[in-house]
Structure 1
Amino acid sequence: MATRDSVDQLLHEVEAALQSAEGMYMVHSKQSSWEDVSFQQTQQQLQEMSEKVAKMVTSADDMQKEALNRAQIRIERMQQKMLITDL
């Protein structure tokens, strides 16, 4: 069973990853292309967070699942935003 502390820690990590990705997105919107390494690192970080959230959802209670599902949606939106911008 996921503990409140473990869920809170993961949500904190997700928030940090999303803030980092948003910063990369803002820089990119002012430039013509992503730095390949930065783009790949950011995408990898978001994918890792997505996988961690998905694993934790399976052992979370209903309230925790709701918070984790919201985090997952935010990750997916950022991933889509970054991919669309990179096209």
Structure 2
Amino acid sequence: MATRESVEQFIQQCEDALRNAHAQYTEAKQLEHYNDTEFSSAQEQIEATYNDLMHLSQSCNAQQREQLNRMRLQLQNLQNEMTLLRH
């Protein structure tokens, strides 16, 4: 079973990944092809965070799983936006 502390730390990690990816997304919309490496790195970070979230959610209680599900939706939404951006 995942501890409350480990879930909170992971939520923080997710929020950091979201902030970074959102910044790269915003920059990519403005600069187009000038930050390809950083943009791709942010996409990889989102994907890795998503995969870690799915593994962690298997060992959580219902309340923790709900928290992680909300975070999963945010990660997926940004991941989709980044994929659809004509970058």
Q: Using structure 1 for the length normalisation, give the TM-score.
A: 0.93
Q: Does 1:39 align with 2:55?
A: no
Structure 1 alignment gaps of length 5 or more: none
CA distance in 2, matches of 1:27, 1:37: 12
Decide whether the 8 Å contact of 2:18 with 2:46 is kept in 1. yes
Q: Give the count of matched residue pairs.
A: 87
Q: Cα RMSD over matched residues?
A: 1.2
The structure richer in helix per residue is 2
Residues 6-37 of structure 1: CA deviation (Å, up to 9, x unaligned): 00000000000000111111111112235221
Aligned sequence identity (%): 28
Q: Using structure 2 for the length normalisation, give the TM-score.
A: 0.93
Q: Which residue of 2 is the match for residue 13 of structure 1?
A: 13
Runs of 4+ with deviation above 6 angstroms = none
Structure 2 alignment gaps of length 5 or more: none
